[in-house]
Structure 1
Amino acid sequence: MSPRISVVMPVYNVEQFVKSAIESVLKQTYDNFELLIVDDRGDDNSMQICKQFIGDPRVHIIRHQTNKGLAAARNTGIRHSLGEFVAFIDSDDLWHPEKLQRHVVHLDKNPNVGLSFSRSSFIDYQGKFIDFYQMPKLFDIDAAHLLCRNPVGNGSAPVIRRSTINDIRFQPASSKNRHSCYFDENFRQSEDIECWLRIAATTSWEIEGLPEPLTYYRLNHGGLSANLEKQYASWEKMIEKARGFAPKLLKQHEESARGFQLRYLSRQAIRIGDGSAAVKLFNRAMKASPSIIRSETFKTVTTMIAAYAQWIIPAWGYIAIEAVGQKFIGILQKLRISRDGVSSEFMQQSKL
């Protein structure tokens, strides 16, 4: 019998995390799945760790001949997959044990939904929960909202119908092997939002989220401001491509989307402790789209305060203020999750 879900996990230089990632998949309460580990030819011990699991008949390893990047690894996994649904997990993230079960129920009950995603809980570099969550809009998600806010949030959150992902399949003009693609391999960043946007803008499939934080998204350790600029350049490349398949969408929402993206990058600069970069990115966000302060006042104002505070206040003082603010926001997020019907027992169990 073919597996109902194909789980695609690209692996590249993640020896510190990949064992836990694989275990979180194999511990799923829904077990009719295959796990396709795509070896993207790193140079650490990641694959030696992965090979420890090949005794499980659900686990399969597919090897690239050379490093091709995350988009290509996901495409390889999809091409080898057998499931009715395709789930993605990055090899440094984790899943709640009930993630696949809840997505299967959601998709079975809602045949018009092509992409089901979950809220995500942040974990730190060591895998510790930090009581902070991605809190996106869950319903009535159109292409404009996805372009501006990316509610899916990260590459380990979605489970997608095969029929949905087939609807955005394309044949790249420059491909030597003439393989079908789903993610655009010209992108080394922003490949996920580019894919979700094509689903929202070019198909009739609906995108919906689950209120439970079923994905545990690991925050990178440290980082460089230069990487934020690379990320922004990749996002602009995605915008340029989107003009070709969704020109009306871009004409109406491009400025707002740019403002939200720059604000997001400002928050990333805050996280890595670069107050100067955070302020510059925030100011660029306001210049690109002043209206974001009206549409999302709280998040925009708190970003501004945090950016300028980190730039002005000594590091020890800012760290103390940040801890208090983060705890307060975490409490508000938990209250909202509870109002959405997620039990306190579930929230406690997710940390065990």
Structure 2
Amino acid sequence: MTLLVLGDGAEGVRDELGRLVARLVTAGHDVVGLDVHAAEVTSRQDRAPDVLTWVLTSLGPRLVVWVDAPQPLPAVGADTTVLAADRAAVLPALRSLCGVATLPADAPSEAVHLAEALSAWRSAVQTGPRRLAVRERAPRVSVLMAFYNLSDYTHEAMRSALDQTYDDHEVVALDDGSTDETPDILASYAGNPRVRIVRQDNLGGTGRMDLVCNQLVRAARGELIAWAGGDDRNLPDRLQTQVGAFDDDPGLDVCHGAAILMDAAGTPLSRGWALPRPYDDHCLLRELVRQNLLGHPSVMMRRDAFQRSGLFEQGVSADYHFWLKTAGTLRYRYLPQPVVAYRFHEKSLSTSEAGAAHTYREGLRLRELVLRQRPLEDFFPELVGVDDRGIRADASLVLGNWLLDVSPELALLAWEGALALGSAGAHHNAAVVHWLTGDTAAAISSARAGVRIDPSVETLLDRFSAGGEEQFTLRGPGLALDEQLQRARRANGATIHRWDGTTLDVDSAYLALHPDHDELSREAIAAWCATTRAGDPVRWVIPSLGTAPEELFERLARLTAGSDLAAAADVTLELIDDLRMLPPSFDEARMLPSGAGHRLQGVVSSPSAVGALASWALTRASGYQTTS
């Protein structure tokens, strides 16, 4: 008995209407919000009406609340009640339904009528027809996969989701109106008690893949949801590895991992996918706006975190939009171990030539959206409470400088904040970009505005007059911004989490033990015990590099005989088969803190590696820093 809320802001949580819908969903109610105006942007050309028709016919809502109805609804079923009301009446009625606030005594009659209808809907849902019911125990994990004409890969995808070393899971497979053999293949799994199959008329063809994915979540029962591609392959220990990360960290919301890349035939490509740059809670959004850091088919998340964040929105690139809108509010972690094999083929929505081009355009649109919607403090949480105009201008300046690699238009948009604060550097950089993109008038105008603030910008006008053929140098931020970021990160280091789950006040050495150098390994362990103490803000992570965990544990026990590891700083074993799956330990192009921290990385294969570990531990154990 679905409740459908139609209106501007009904999707996501930026608007109160969407937040109230999200609250109802999180509470377990069957409620769907649809922003009809947004659908005109997020749907493929001229397909927005088809989206509304699909929602009305496929979901068959019992009650539709049409907020500020701009037009008549398409035909609805006989069992559907449609109530049109303005926002002033809908919001108090929904607040009352959610228990956020009681209906005011002086509420308009329209709000009272709507509140009564919503209350009757809830009562009907709660009571329903009386019948004997058996309560099923929900699985811990729901693996969610959507299929559309993927018969070449359906069996492989399904088997890989079922054949996991972790067994407390279900597989929810949604057939989005396939016209090939996909429905028949999925039907062959119908007898498996772990499998739930959902069939619907095609919706993905409208461009609203966000709604397709949300349908999967509506059918899921698990506390954790694992996204998986209908054309990809889950590695056998994927669920066990990611569930372990959630068990280790109750505050974790989203976990993603590395990936093997393969061609259409399933042959591994020479390269894999790893996190391209490190991140932490404070810098995640400013890293994401430069580049998508998560592979959707590798992501596992808490279902309640997904629901209270307003589900997916924004069409084809809904996953990227979700990362952007929740960066800074949800906790993310990366596992440097492949959890999926990701397939490149010409039917793919993202890896085919046409799909990649569309995804690129959507990425630009979503970056522009988040730049317009989110304040500077979301990109730089270190600036909360900072009023210094120069520091704030420099933050906008550096954000635009980074985005210039993505799009000149995005860079100019990011610089608007710096321009409003009177930044000569932003005027200089904007003038350069306008000149190089052929907008001579705008270039001269920006340069002249910069001259009024800083006469040295006059040199740009001279170079423009001379033809401006030589290379230009962009202006960067001053030291005050870096100092402020460092100061804030030191003050909050114990609460800011890095990509690997550690906090900024702990640094990590990812140093593997070479299988053929036991004596060097013993020396490294002895050096660690000699230079660190329990409670020091460092840890030594020993990657497995292909060795079975049990075997590695037995070897470590043998090598540590006679050493007092309990008195030293933390040592942990991690399933990391390839050090290249770790993000870079630093980014030479960065002049500001990232999520890298101070990381030592390598293999104990020479005396110099033992010395490096001892030196690193001595330096870090005495107190942490936060620059790369």
Match of 1:238 in 2: 366
For 2:399, the aligned partner's letter is: H
Of 253-262 and 35-44, deviating more is 253-262
Question: CA 1:114 to 1:84, structure 2 compared with 1: closer, same or farther past 3 Å?
Answer: same
Q: Relative contact order (C-alpha < 8 Å, sep 6+): which is higher?
A: 1
Match of 1:132 in 2: 271
Match of 2:319 in 1: 192
In 1, are the aligned partners of 2:344 and 2:352 still within 8 Å (CA)? no
Distance in 1 between residues matched to 2:407 and 2:180, nearest whole Å: 33
Corresponding position: 1:209 with 2:351: no
Match of 1:3 in 2: 139
For 2:302, the aligned partner's letter is: R
Distance in 2 between residues matched to 1:138 and 1:261, nearest whole Å: 22
Corresponding position: 1:122 with 2:247: no
Corresponding position: 1:52 with 2:52: no
Distance in 2 between residues matched to 1:85 and 1:138, nearest whole Å: 24
Distance in 1 between residues matched to 2:164 and 2:473, nearest whole Å: 43
In 2, are the aligned partners of 1:88 and 1:158 still within 8 Å (CA)? yes
For 2:338, the aligned partner's letter is: P
Q: What's the CA shift for 1:213? A: 0.9
Distance in 2 between residues matched to 1:258 and 1:57, nearest whole Å: 51
Q: What's the CA shift for 1:254? A: 5.5
Q: What's the CA shift for 1:73? A: 1.6
Distance in 2 between residues matched to 1:124 and 1:226, nearest whole Å: 17
Corresponding position: 1:341 with 2:341: no
In 1, are the aligned partners of 2:157 and 2:233 still within 8 Å (CA)? yes
1:321-332 to 2 correspondences below 5 Å: none
For 1:117, the aligned partner's letter is: H
Secondary structure of the equivalent of 2:250? coil
The TM-score, its normalising length taken from structure 1, stands at 0.67
Q: What's the CA shift for 1:140? A: 2.1
Q: What's the CA shift for 1:49? A: 0.7
RMSD over aligned CA atoms reads 3.2
Match of 1:92 in 2: 231
Distance in 1 between residues matched to 2:300 and 2:215, nearest whole Å: 17
For 1:17, the aligned partner's letter is: Y
In 2, are the aligned partners of 1:123 and 1:217 still within 8 Å (CA)? yes
Match of 1:37 in 2: 173
Distance in 2 between residues matched to 1:254 and 1:342, nearest whole Å: 40
For 1:147, the aligned partner's letter is: V
Distance in 2 between residues matched to 1:105 and 1:225, nearest whole Å: 37
Of 36-45 and 142-151, deviating more is 142-151
**Structure 2 alignment gaps of length 5 or more:** 1-136, 380-395, 409-432, 438-471, 477-510, 515-540, 549-576, 579-628
For 1:140, the aligned partner's letter is: D
Q: Cα deviation per residue 1:147-173 (whole Å; 9 max; x = unaligned)?
A: 223221x2211000122212211xxxx
In 2, are the aligned partners of 1:138 and 1:211 still within 8 Å (CA)? no
1:70-109 to 2 correspondences below 5 Å: 70-109=209-248
Match of 2:345 in 1: 220
Matched residues, number: 265
In 2, are the aligned partners of 1:115 and 1:206 still within 8 Å (CA)? yes
Distance in 2 between residues matched to 1:210 and 1:28, nearest whole Å: 18
Q: What's the CA shift for 1:126? A: 0.5
Q: What's the CA shift for 1:343? A: 2.3
Q: Cα deviation per residue 1:90-118 (whole Å; 9 max; x = unaligned)?
A: 10111111000111110111122210011
The TM-score, its normalising length taken from structure 2, stands at 0.39
Q: Which of the numbers 144, 151, 157 marks the counterpart of 2:298?
A: 157
Question: CA 1:127 to 1:340, structure 2 compared with 1: closer, same or farther past 3 Å?
Answer: farther
In 2, are the aligned partners of 1:33 and 1:83 still within 8 Å (CA)? yes
For 1:157, the aligned partner's letter is: S
For 1:234, the aligned partner's letter is: E
Match of 2:26 in 1: none
Match of 1:166 in 2: 307
Secondary structure of the equivalent of 2:188? helix
Match of 2:100 in 1: none
Secondary structure of the equivalent of 2:161? helix
In 2, are the aligned partners of 1:139 and 1:209 still within 8 Å (CA)? no
Q: What's the CA shift for 1:207? A: 0.7
In 2, are the aligned partners of 1:119 and 1:215 still within 8 Å (CA)? yes
For 2:268, the aligned partner's letter is: F
Secondary structure of the equivalent of 2:280? coil
Secondary structure of the equivalent of 1:86? strand
Question: CA 1:208 to 1:12, structure 2 compared with 1: closer, same or farther past 3 Å?
Answer: same
For 1:253, the aligned partner's letter is: L
Secondary structure of the equivalent of 1:149? coil
Of 86-95 and 238-247, deviating more is 238-247
Secondary structure of the equivalent of 1:8? strand
Distance in 2 between residues matched to 1:87 and 1:210, nearest whole Å: 14
Q: Cα deviation per residue 1:31-73 (whole Å; 9 max; x = unaligned)?
A: 1111111111121111111111111111011122332343222
Distance in 1 between residues matched to 2:352 and 2:187, nearest whole Å: 33
